[in-house]
Homo-oligomer: A and B are copies of this chain.
Amino acid sequence: MSIITFIGAGQMASALSFPATENGHEVRLVGTPLDRDIIDSAELTGFHPTLKRQLPHEGMTYYQIDDVELALDGTNAVLCGVSSFGVDWFAEQILPLIPDTVPLLSVTKGMIDQEDGTMITYPDYFASKLPAGKKLSINAIGGPCTSYELADKDHSTVAFCGIDMEILKRFKKIFATDYYHISLSRDVVGVECAVALKNAYALGVSLAIGLALGPNGDGKEHYNSQAALFGQSIKEMKHLLKLVNGGEENIIYGAGDLYVTIFGGRTRKIGTLLGRGFTFEEAMAELEGVTLESIVIATRTAHWVRRLAERNMVKLADFPLLMHVDAIINHGVPVAIPWSTFETEKY
């Protein structure tokens, strides 16, 4: 029996309360300043308004952010549940409060491109933001898992990554159930890069859905073109994985996560709208109020690849799909899949 403090009451963190409480642990769910309504609702009725599910009846206590220190008092582990838009808040406000002996597990997916042209993982980013002298075990979750299905106890496979295998095993013991299947990996950059990239490429594959549906959205969905872009995505993701020195085998997390992202949610929506011929501004207007990490990650990754190309470390021609996605979302270019650039000759 452990106490785990979840910081951030978004959909994914909240969904993880199911396996944790099922294993007999106590979950303290703390909302960020943006989660006040969620915490109010959960406390009153147990209902999570964006996850659209009743949270577990047993083992849950709820805290507004004002009580975060109370929620951290005596805790055995912390789960960081913020989206990539919340990482700086988390780094500044929460990291200093976590005792050195309490390990952290983060659900935030993505990587950050730095001034010097490198990309780093969120665990590395968090580590760089720790107050001087502070040490913390910072771990992360990658892999194909949407929050709704996890809350519904559908089978999901994920990877917990971090540098200390013993701590990863402790986290696995807390969360593993007969529907939540956890691999462990010390290759943090490999896992995190694979699952970060899928956001950009899920948008790329979804363009084919929109192209098939056509301007009025009444066309028939086709799969050859989606499969073509899926294959091209795998090729470019493998290449990018190599550039960050991530193990090539992590492409299995990237491929699985790409698959699930194409079939669920917001990235598919924006890619489909763009493929149907909406401008980026029109497409974003249709999704008003929705935060789109895929846009941020595609932009960051393209920026990083351009920097590498300036230094002759890569050829932009090796990333035609990523470059086209970037051109669409950041430079107002209309969708025109560069099919012929995907063709190769292997001697």
Chain multiplicity (copies): 2
Whether a CB of chain B sits under 8 angstroms from the CB of A175 is no
Q: Which of B183, B235, B257 contacts A343 (CB 8 A)?
A: B183
Task: Check B228–A255 contact: CB distance below 8 A.
Answer: no
Q: Which of B156, B211, B230 contacts A256 (CB 8 A)?
A: B230
Chain A 233-280 interface residues, beta-carbon cutoff 8 Å to B: 234-235, 238, 247-249, 251-253, 255-257, 259-260, 263-264
Q: Which residues A178-210 have CB closer than 8 A to chain B? A: 178, 181-187, 208
Interface size on A, residues (CB 8 A): 58
By the criterion CB–CB under 8 Å, are B346 and A155 in contact? no
Contact, CB under 8 Å: A146 / B187: no
| B228 with A149: CB separation less than 8 A | no
Smallest Cβ distance from A51 to chain B, in angstroms? 15
Asked if A308 is at the interface of the complex by the 8 Å CB criterion, the answer is no
User: 6 tightest CB-CB pairs across the interface, nearest first?
Assistant: A231-B256, A144-B227, A157-B228, A227-B260, A156-B224, A185-B346
Given the complex, which residues of B lie within 8 Å of A346, measured CB to CB?
A: 183-187, 247
A231 nearest CB neighbor, chain B only: B256
30 contacts between A and B (CB under 8 A): A144-B227, A144-B230, A145-B224, A146-B223, A149-B223, A149-B224, A154-B224, A155-B208, A155-B211, A155-B337, A157-B224, A157-B342, A183-B345, A184-B345, A184-B346, A223-B259, A223-B263, A223-B264, A224-B260, A227-B257, A228-B256, A230-B255, A230-B256, A231-B255, A231-B259, A234-B252, A234-B256, A238-B249, A238-B252, A247-B346
Closest to A341 in B: B181
Q: Which residue of B lies closest to A339 (CB)?
A: B181
Complex Cα distance, B223 from A145, in Å, reads 8
A101 adjacent to chain B (CB < 8 Å)? no
Mask of A298-309 contacts with B, CB within 8 angstroms, 1/0: 000000000000
